[in-house]
Structure 1
Amino acid sequence: MSWELSFISEKDFTNHVKDTIDKYGEKLESFDIVRFNKNIVDPIKMIFDKTVYQTSWDEIVGNEIFRQRDKSNNNDIGYFHQRIFQYINNCHVPDNGTEGGWDVIFQVPEGITLPEGDIVHTVYVEMKNKHNTMNSAAAGKTYIKMQSQLLDDDDCACFLVEAIAKKSQNIKWATTVDGKSVSHKKIRRVSLDQFYALVTGQEDAFYKMCMVLPKVIEKVVNEGGEDVKVPHDSVMSELRRIAEEMDTDDENLAMALAVYLLGFSTYNGFSKVAGNVVDDVDENALKRIYEYAKRIVNIR
């Protein structure tokens, strides 16, 4: 099958996807029950969520594992959105903290035409993953940085590029700095699809990238071998082993007790249940939880 992206080679795109997956690092480590409960999950919330949302134990535990992994994944996806431009003509991605701290610098000797008709030769880019990730203080600081860049170089524009914008746009960025409304035609708020269109000259470049991305990720994961980690979580199997030792024929209640012990193994009543199960089952998952709990609260 022929490669469908003219603005980046298949080799560069595949390597970039692999580099992004590598950035996931320890988040791709498999979850066992101790890692799952490292910061102590909220069993009450899990019980409510499972029942109210009518999900299975597998789903609710899987959702919690996903939530824990997802907390820091935005930085990794930010890496994907930013660093891909190092492979695109006329784009430069500075090392972190260098060259003014810009995420991407786009330069065209022939000139870059802005929507209002102004022509500049350089665009300095600050990238954000979502439109609502900056509070007013951060927005003001970023705007002042862009104003300063324009004072130093009147042959440029500054873009706030948002991967997840409210809509497709390339507009003047109007914000508030020190209580004053400000805007400038060369300081712009741009959705990621519009930035792709500008730097590639292809209106649907971002769409085309999105269309090939799933199969490239799948290819990298399937062909990566030991170089690409794929998690194999054991939390549910360990919880089921705990549930099997509970003194009840109610399977759902047994699983609920196993989940309760994640957070309450040292609480009155629960500690007795935990102790009984540990006495009955040698070297199983609950024993590891209970010993872990003893270490962190120093109980006897």
Structure 2
Amino acid sequence: MRAHVKQTILKYRLSIDFTEFKKLKIDPIKATFDIAVYHLSDEEFIEREIIRQIDKSNNNHIGYFHQNIFRYIQDWEVLESGYDIVNRKKSYYAEIKNKFNTMNSNAKENIFRKMQQTIDSDSKAICFLIEVISKESKNLPWSVKIDDKVVKNERIRIISIDKFYEIATGDKDAFAKLCKHLPQIIQDVIESEGVEIGFSSESKNIRESLRKVHPNLLGALYYLAFSNYEGFKDFTQNQ
């Protein structure tokens, strides 16, 4: 468990440089509204945007944590493709989603069809769509609308992660126990392993680089986004 926590922490992104910042293609229209509505300085907006982008990357690493922790649970296997995790001994197949509202209708349909193929080809198979953050604690047949019809099957389940941990470990409180001890485990790993922590933001360098693009930071965001548009070659903003 400690090793898995350490690997997750080491994946955490702590900084972003100007080259990466430029590739983000930040929406300058939204930036203009945010700066005005939230009474931000240009510098404050840039700092918030850097943190937001770092956080987006780190959300993927939390997905890594949820999936790969099953390497440490008996009979479970983490896959690179197909399903996220499987238990071949019990013919359990599972996909993990961090939040209940992260899939659109097409994504739901594609996953359901894949699971339908699995249970058609394996008479013992049970497929699970796991929601880490669900609306409720549940283990129910998953209903999906396909071709204007609601379809479901008892062997295709939608399940909250607490209920799935109970299936995987035999302990109904297993997920709660993980959550209870996780803060201390993280702190112990950071202290004992000397893991680098905290934002090492390149915000100052990014601001300086933006001002080389345009003297005004907001103007620089407009230029980076729209420099190929008509009227933006010599664009100035609030100079």
Note the C-alpha offset of 1:17.
Answer: 1.4
The share of aligned pairs that are identical, in percent, is 40
* Structure 1 residue identity aligned to 2:8: T
Query: Which moved further from structure 2: 68-77 or 144-153?
Result: 68-77
Q: Which residues of 2 match residues 98-177 of structure 1 at below 5 A?
A: 101-106=82-87, 121-177=90-146
Distance 1:178 1:45, change over 3 A: closer
Distance 1:182 1:44, change over 3 A: closer
Q: Which residues of 2 match residues 261-272 of structure 1 at below 5 A?
A: 261-263=219-221, 268=234, 270=236
Q: Which residues of 2 match residues 211-226 of structure 1 at below 5 A?
A: 211-225=180-194
The residue that corresponds to 1:190 in the other structure is 159
The residue that corresponds to 2:54 in the other structure is 69
Distance 1:137 1:34, change over 3 A: closer
Note the C-alpha offset of 1:174.
Answer: 0.6
* Structure 1 residue identity aligned to 2:141: K
- Contact 1:196–1:205 under 8 Å retained in 2: yes
Unmatched 5+ stretches in structure 1 = 1-12, 109-120, 244-256, 274-300
* Structure 2 residue identity aligned to 1:106: N
* Structure 1 residue identity aligned to 2:217: V
**Other structure's SS at 1:102 match:** coil
Note the alpha carbon deviations across 1:55-77, whole angstroms, 9 max, x for none: 56665333211222233333322
Note the C-alpha offset of 1:124.
Answer: 1.2
What TM-score do the two structures reach when normalised by structure 2? 0.77
Query: Which moved further from structure 2: 33-42 or 202-211?
Result: 33-42
Whole-angstrom CA distance in 1 between matches of 2:49 and 2:181: 29
- Contact 2:31–2:218 under 8 Å retained in 1: no
The residue that corresponds to 1:208 in the other structure is 177
Whole-angstrom CA distance in 2 between matches of 1:235 and 1:41: 15
Q: 2:201 aligns with which of 224, 228, 233?
A: 233
Higher RCO structure, 1 or 2 (CA under 8 Å, sep 6+): 2
Note the C-alpha offset of 1:219.
Answer: 3.4
Whole-angstrom CA distance in 2 between matches of 1:151 and 1:139: 18
Whole-angstrom CA distance in 2 between matches of 1:51 and 1:137: 37
Note the alpha carbon deviations across 1:96-125, whole angstroms, 9 max, x for none: 12xxx22112366xxxxxxxxxxxx33211
Whole-angstrom CA distance in 2 between matches of 1:163 and 1:72: 18
**Other structure's SS at 2:201 match:** coil
Note the alpha carbon deviations across 1:243-269, whole angstroms, 9 max, x for none: 9xxxxxxxxxxxxx6422432578647
RMSD of equivalent CA atoms? 3.3
Distance 1:212 1:60, change over 3 A: farther
Q: How many residues align?
A: 228
**Other structure's SS at 1:233 match:** coil
Unmatched 5+ stretches in structure 2 = none
Note the alpha carbon deviations across 1:172-208, whole angstroms, 9 max, x for none: 1011223322111111000111111221222222122
The residue that corresponds to 1:180 in the other structure is 149
1:78 aligns with 2:66: no
What TM-score do the two structures reach when normalised by structure 1? 0.63
Query: Which moved further from structure 2: 213-222 or 166-175?
Result: 213-222
Note the alpha carbon deviations across 1:4-46, whole angstroms, 9 max, x for none: xxxxxxxxx111112223334xx33x33556544545445543
Larger radius of gyration: 1
- The list of structure 1 runs, each at least 4 consecutive aligned residues, that deviate by more than 6 angstroms after superposition, is 240-243
